[in-house]
Amino acid sequence: MTKRNFDIVIVGAGAVGLTAALSFAQEGFRTALVGSLETRRDGRTVALFDGSVRFLEALGLWPTLEKHSAPLATMRLIDDTGSLFRPPPAEFHASEIDLDAFGWNIENATLLEELAAAARKQEGLTLIPGMAAGFEGVGDAAWIGLADGEVLNADLVVAADGRHSKLRQQAGIEAKTWSYPQSALTVILAHDRDHRDTSTEFHTRHGPFTLVPLPGRRSSLVWVTSTENAERLAGLDDAHLALEIERQAQSLLGAMRIDGPRGVVPMSGLSVSHYYAPRLALVGETAHVFPPIGAQGLNLGLRDVAALRDAIVDAREEGLSPGDDMALRQYQRGRDIDVRSRTTAVDSLNRTLLSELMPADFLRGAGLLAINGIGPLRRAVMREGVLPRIGAPRLMQRST
Ligand SMILES: Cc1cc2nc3c(=O)[nH]c(=O)nc-3n(C[C@H](O)[C@H](O)[C@H](O)COP(=O)(O)OP(=O)(O)OC[C@H]3O[C@@H](n4cnc5c(N)ncnc54)[C@H](O)[C@@H]3O)c2cc1C
């Protein structure tokens, strides 16, 4: 069988792999994407923050995605832990940091469908619907073995094959994994009252219960709770589940109706020692996983892609190939602090909710009071959560 040659082969056609494939093909690299483009509705949405939206805008994808998205103009936090140090509800408005919205919420399956539609039309991008079975990076080339026996040659392979990544294992990159005694129930809801572009997060003893707006009188729910409770909720019929959700939401959005399939996702985490091996770069959940708190996961995955794009474009300007060690080292330097700090922040918030120790309750309560009450701190925290940091990838910066 003849081998096909590419500059870059991406493995995994999730949101991160699809965006990577579109981005590298648009830069003129001969690109292939290995993976299935089929999607399935799972009651999940993703909130995309400012930097992600800028990146998708730069790739010409945002006008279509925006039509399916709802803006998050206000974020409301309600402490529902029953703690002695319970702060009053806090509201944060995007206008306070000169934004129209903190982010935009879109159904996961719709995002994937639109990215796949764009990929099918993208010049310079070859779609290979099979599964990758083997990887090896040696000298100045890498090869990918497909499940049907075909072999692809590439200068750089990008592993976007998710948390159980075979490529990461075959490259010998160590991953640390951990789990939480929680699962997230995910479902899309229709409701009687307008959400007013407001996302509401109730902090409960078992984790956050978060309602995020969708277009119209619809919202998505991520209910992080004990695994037994998530399974019990998932087993209820639509009417009883809607009633329990309305009760937990303190009837904020009026009567609820279940509008689509539901999912239960066990909470776990993963971090890696390295973001690259010879001729291989890790992006998205191949490199980092944490609980769906603060809507960070995919935003971080898109930052991986935008940072890798900068590194390989810079390498090309130096006359180097995309898989050159210099490009991969630049990529690693850019990702390390960003990924580590987000992983720690999400993990710490989750653990203070789970802990019933008074000092943890006090710190969380005092922290929210301070953030809510001190103007400059309040704005700094809002910016930190949603705006790209200094040194962010070029296509995510506000000046572009
Ligand atoms: C309940 C919930 C809510 C969330 N909300 C948000 C949010 O609001 N904002 C946010 O930013 N993030 C959010 N996240 C996180 C976000 O969903 C993930 O970070 C993101 O979907 C990960 O995408 P990915 O492409 O890296 O991985 P995946 O979606 O796992 O994609 C990996 C792909 O690789 C394929 N694959 C695996 N092995 C192979 C192989 N050998 N060959 C070919 N293909 C292969 C798989 O089939 C899959 O298609 C949420 C997560 C959860 C669970």
Distance from the alpha carbon of residue 285 to the mean position of ligand 1, in angstroms = 6
Annotate 328-373 with three-state secondary structure.
Answer: HHHHHHHHHHHHHHHHHHHHHHHHHHHCCCHHHHHHHHHHHHHHHH
- Total-model pTM: 0.92
What confidence score (pLDDT) does residue 277 get?
Answer: 96
What confidence score (pLDDT) does residue 84 get?
Answer: 63
Compute the average pLDDT of residues 96-114: 93
> For residue range 20-59, what is the model confidence (pLDDT) as tens digits?
999 999 999 999 999 999 998 888 999 999 999 999 999 9
CATH class of the domain at 4-177+267-396: alpha beta
Place of tokens 């999607």: 39
What confidence score (pLDDT) does residue 107 get?
Answer: 96
| Paired tokens of 398 | 């506000």
User: Ligand 1, closest atom to CA 289?
Assistant: 19
Percentage of residues in the chain having pLDDT higher than 90: 70
Place of tokens 């690109």: 31
What confidence score (pLDDT) does residue 3 get?
Answer: 78
Distance from the alpha carbon of residue 74 to the mean position of ligand 1, in angstroms = 26
Does residue 167 line the site of ligand 1, with CB under 6 A? no
Q: Among the residues of the chain, which ranges form H helices?
A: 15-26, 50-58, 62-66, 108-121, 166-170, 227-234, 238-248, 297-317, 325-354, 358-373, 375-386
Percentage of residues in the chain having pLDDT higher than 70: 88
Which conformational region is residue 162 in: left (phi greater than 0), alpha (psi within -120 to 50 degrees), or beta? left
> For residue range 326-355, what is the model confidence (pLDDT) as tens digits?
999 999 998 988 888 888 877 777 766 665
**How far apart, in whole angstroms, are the C-alpha atoms of residue 328 and residue 158?**
11
Flag whether pLDDT at 136 surpasses 70.
yes
What confidence score (pLDDT) does residue 400 get?
Answer: 45
> For residue range 146-165, what is the model confidence (pLDDT) as tens digits?
999 999 999 999 999 999 99
Does residue 160 line the site of ligand 1, with CB under 6 A? yes
> For residue range 281-295, what is the model confidence (pLDDT) as tens digits?
999 999 999 888 777
Q: Which of 5-19, 172-186, 231-245, 338-352 comes out lowest in average pLDDT?
A: 338-352
Instruction: Name the residue at shortest CA distance from atom 37 of ligand 1.
Output: 161
Does residue 11 line the site of ligand 1, with CB under 6 A? yes
| Paired tokens of 347 | 């993990």
| Paired tokens of 83 | 């703690």
The answer to whether the beta carbons of residues 199 and 210 sit under 8 Å apart is yes
User: Ligand 1, closest atom to CA 105?
Assistant: 8
What confidence score (pLDDT) does residue 173 get?
Answer: 96
The answer to whether the beta carbons of residues 285 and 269 sit under 8 Å apart is no
Q: Probe ligand 1: pick from 16, 40, 338, max atoms within 8 Å of CB?
A: 16
Q: Report which of 165, 163, 170, 208 is spatially closest to residue 186, judged by C-alpha positions.
A: 208
Q: Probe ligand 1: pick from 298, 302, 339, max atoms within 8 Å of CB?
A: 298
| Paired tokens of 204 | 């409960």
